[in-house]
Chains A and B, each alone.
Chain A
Amino acid sequence: MKAFADLYSALDGTTSNKAKLAALGEYFRHAPPEDAAWAAYFLSGGKPRQIVPVSALRELAQRAAGLPEWLFEESYQAVGDLAETIALLLPEGAQADDAGLAEWVERRLLPLRGQSPEVLTAALDALWPPLDARERLVLFKLITGSFRVGVSKLLVTRALGEVAGIDPKRVAERMVGYTDISQKPTPDRFLALVDPAEGEGSAVTRGGQPYPFFLAHPLQAPVEEFDALLGAPSRWQVEWKWDGIRAQLVRRDGQTWLWSRGEELITERFPELAAVAQSLPDGTVLDGEIVIWIDGRVQPFALLQQRIGRKTVGARLLRDAPAILMAYDLLEWRGEDWRTRPQSERRAQLVRVVAEHIHPALEVSPQVEADDWEHFARLRDASRDLGVEGFMLKAVDAAYGAGRTKDVGLWWKWKIDPYSVDAVLIYAQRGHGRRASLYTDFTFAVWNAPPGTPDRALVPFAKAYSGLTDEEMRAVDAIVRRTTVESFGPVRSVTPTQVFELGFEGIGRSGRHKSGIAVRFPRMLRWRTDKPIEEADTLATLEAMLPPASVKEPA
């Protein structure tokens, strides 16, 4: 644990990527593989299922520091990170533990899961005293699973690539699925990551391994510049941009794996897609979007949301929210890696494959044709009615890259503008991470009646925390402190004075929200210091944005 805590401190103690890379390399070169396996797992975003309930951790800290609950809560609100709060509150300890990271995780932490409260309390109280302050911070970060230390997965793959003396892209390929919740990092899996042999990466040896997802770049230029920027439309394959879950469906050796873009295995959650794979030959990998599909029409994301997070899906949910794979790329065919072939060739083959293996839960994302970019722009205006987010533009000669890259091929996402309304800030809460201690997490409201209506009220409908600059963040924080009316726990209500233009991607009815409306990905687009609150939008504005189709209310 000490070596890993040293690494954490080194990473945390610099903003330079070069220095971080050096620290990572140093660690991975010297750490025993069983420890390195877990380090790579945590640093690239791996999170074991909850080990200890959060309440038990809070109690532990209160007990050890002799604090009343409210004072712990105040402390937590100021720090904005549970692990850090606890580490700061515990009494000084001596450093007297030299167990490695793997021993800590496998022997001491994972076995705590599901223990009775009495056993847990005793175990937790014995856990931290032999650790120093830095190690404790790491310990509680491991337990809470919020392990962010300014290291991207890309940086980890670069470090491992250097250690192994191989192309980091190779490591990235091997790392796909490494942090999946159902698999444990082992010395063998780690050694396979850093195997100096480049290997062919043939499908036969790949098991259920997916390929790194190729990601698109946002296209924000005005359409008049498209000809100059992109050339003729004939050089591009244009498809709708689906609002679902990006996924790869892998069929090899008579087995099926469905991977989400977050590199989680989600096969069990979508039995209808597992069934699709059964009709495909071995050595097939499809890339596409999981969407809910009823009567030939994509359904709002809210419906898909009901399928996410459920390990087992009942017959009723399967009937009410049937999923399909909207396939748009073929990455492997008959065991051969097709990623270097041009986009157009991959698509042609994909269309053939799907036609030969007809299944109700498998569609090919249609290609949209138009004469010029202006025409595409007009077609794109229909996106909202169709339930899509705009267009994807894929260069016809593009190979399938890894991650958000441009070196072997190019994908653009040409999204429609978000919905937007002017809303009033009514509640604020302190933020997390770099927003810690500042009031930056806001609840926004719109009016329930048009201007001039007597006694009209503000109805909360969305929360948002992103979109402001650091400077704006501090300015709004000062306003919140100045205009606080009341505090309930960590939340402050403020005298409504500030209007923000709020953007969001989707909108639907919701029984869970006071306003009867739920929006997707809300964020602040602009601080409307020019607008008095009377001019903010009303509930009627939001209702007019609801999709025309009969949207089912999420249960």
Chain B
Amino acid sequence: MAADLIVARPEGLYCPPGDFYIDPWRPVSRAVITHAHSDHARFGHEHYLCAEPGRGVLLARLPGITLDTLPYGERITHHGVTLSLHPAGHVLGSAQVRLEHGGQVWVASGDYKVEDDGTCAPFEPVRCDTFITESTFGLPIYRWQSQPVLMAEMFRWWQLNAEAGRASVLYCYAFGKAQRVLHGLLRHAGTDLAMPGPIIVHGAMTGLNRAYAEAGVELAPTMIVSDLPARSPALQRALVVAPPSAQRSTWLRRFGAEAADAFASGWMQLRGTRRRRGVDRGFALSDHADWPGLLQAIGATGAQRVIVTHGNVPVMVRYLSEQGLDAQAFKTEFGDVDDVEDPSDAQPGSAVEASA
């Protein structure tokens, strides 16, 4: 049997014949980055490689790094290993890493979702022998509604609040989710752009919004709070898009004590997590594949061997084994940034916000 193309090392996922790492968590010489969330893209490596559409957001996150990029689908060879990057549909520039060597094909998916959200190239199934998958939402209780349905719900929530004269505060992560919301609302509003009120974004989001806009993603028009006079009545009709760290901050006071709030994250699928958050509403809008999405993606690769990283690893491994696949686990240090349940014990917003 041929040697494994990817193994788990203390530094991260490593390709022995190619001598490079994928999303390493300790400083290494060569790092292929699947996407720019902070648990996958860290400072300290000598050389970085990512998908071309991810250049802007990665440099916004890690300014000054030595970065090469590769268009989706284009192949390069490094130490005899053929490498190409393929859309993962997770956030702008996210990629699956395909490796071919000695007659084997391996794909490391990074984080992915299968629904096309309009803000990044949609997930593309890649045939392979071994597939390395995430399992953030690897339980059958996680089944997402489609983005148009969720956006309609969100829009309706905002509209009812605006009619009742209270602001709507929506918490979501600054990179990926926020832009998806802005894009989705624009799509929902249709061509006449009839919004219930202004959309105000927190300062933490403006840099990433710009990176998305520069990459050609259409976003709903937004303003920052200083664009409006302090007691503007428009504040009471506004949708305020803010990172989770802004919850209970003084910044939010200007929108009034009556403001309704909501959180957009896959974890909001469960009432318990929403109640723990202490928000009125939860929108289960995730940048990760749901249970059917994971199974669909794994099936589409045709892989006989599946290696599961972060998330509900034991469940996924057991289920896939029962389906007749050769399933195992890799221990990694990927949390999940954008859909992490509790931002205080992962890193999410903070790093993103600092650089944004």
Partners in one complex: yes
Please give the residue numbers on chain A whose beta carbons come within 8 Å of chain B beta carbons, in ascending order.
12-16, 65, 67-68, 70-71, 74-75, 78-81, 84-85, 88-89, 150, 432-437, 470-471, 474, 478
Q: What's the minimum C-beta distance from A363 to chain B, rounded to whole angstroms? A: 44
- Cβ contact within 8 Å between B281 and A88: no
Interface secondary structure of A, over-half rule:
helix
Report which of B141, B273, B345 forms a contact with A85, defined as CB distance below 8 A: B141
- Cβ contact within 8 Å between A432 and B272: yes
Q: What's the minimum C-beta distance from A345 to chain B, rounded to whole angstroms? A: 45
20 contacts between A and B (CB under 8 A): A12-B271, A13-B280, A13-B281, A15-B280, A71-B319, A74-B315, A75-B140, A79-B272, A81-B272, A84-B271, A85-B141, A88-B141, A88-B143, A89-B141, A433-B275, A434-B272, A436-B273, A437-B273, A437-B341, A478-B345
What are the residues of chain A within 8 A of B319 when measuring CB–CB?
A: 71
* Contact count band on B: 20 to 34
Residue B342 CB within 8 A of the other chain? yes
Q: Which 8 A-B pairs have the closest CB atoms?
A: A436-B272, A88-B141, A434-B275, A14-B280, A75-B141, A434-B276, A74-B315, A13-B281
- Cβ contact within 8 Å between A474 and B345: yes
Residue B322 CB within 8 A of the other chain? yes
- Cβ contact within 8 Å between B318 and A70: yes
- A16 with B143, Cβ < 8 A, contacts A84-B270, A437-B272, A478-B345 known: no
Q: What's the minimum C-beta distance from A75 to chain B, rounded to whole angstroms? A: 5
- Roughly how many angstroms separate A436 CA and B141 CA in the complex, as a whole number? 13
What are the residues of chain B within 8 A of A71 when measuring CB–CB?
A: 139-140, 315, 319
Please give the residue numbers on chain B whose beta carbons come within 8 Å of chain A beta carbons, in ascending order.
139-141, 143, 258, 260, 269-273, 275-276, 278-281, 312, 315, 318-319, 322, 341-342, 344-345
What are the residues of chain A within 8 A of B315 when measuring CB–CB?
A: 71, 74
- Roughly how many angstroms separate A16 CA and B342 CA in the complex, as a whole number? 23
- Cβ contact within 8 Å between A74 and B139: yes
- Cβ contact within 8 Å between A68 and B322: yes
Report which of A15, A89, A150, A435 forms a contact with B140, defined as CB distance below 8 A: A89
What are the residues of chain A within 8 A of B318 when measuring CB–CB?
A: 70
- Roughly how many angstroms separate A68 CA and B270 CA in the complex, as a whole number? 21
- Roughly how many angstroms separate A441 CA and B268 CA in the complex, as a whole number? 22
What are the residues of chain A within 8 A of B345 when measuring CB–CB?
A: 474, 478
User: What is the chain B residue whose CB lies nearest that of A137?
Assistant: B271
- Roughly how many angstroms separate A15 CA and B281 CA in the complex, as a whole number? 9
Report which of A67, A75, A88, A470 forms a contact with B276, defined as CB distance below 8 A: A470
- Cβ contact within 8 Å between B272 and A14: no
What are the residues of chain A within 8 A of B273 when measuring CB–CB?
A: 436-437
- Cβ contact within 8 Å between B272 and A80: yes
What are the residues of chain A within 8 A of B344 when measuring CB–CB?
A: 471, 474
What are the residues of chain A within 8 A of B271 when measuring CB–CB?
A: 12, 81, 84, 436
- Cβ contact within 8 Å between A78 and B342: no
- Roughly how many angstroms separate A435 CA and B260 CA in the complex, as a whole number? 23
What are the residues of chain B within 8 A of A12 when measuring CB–CB?
A: 271
What are the residues of chain B within 8 A of A13 when measuring CB–CB?
A: 280-281
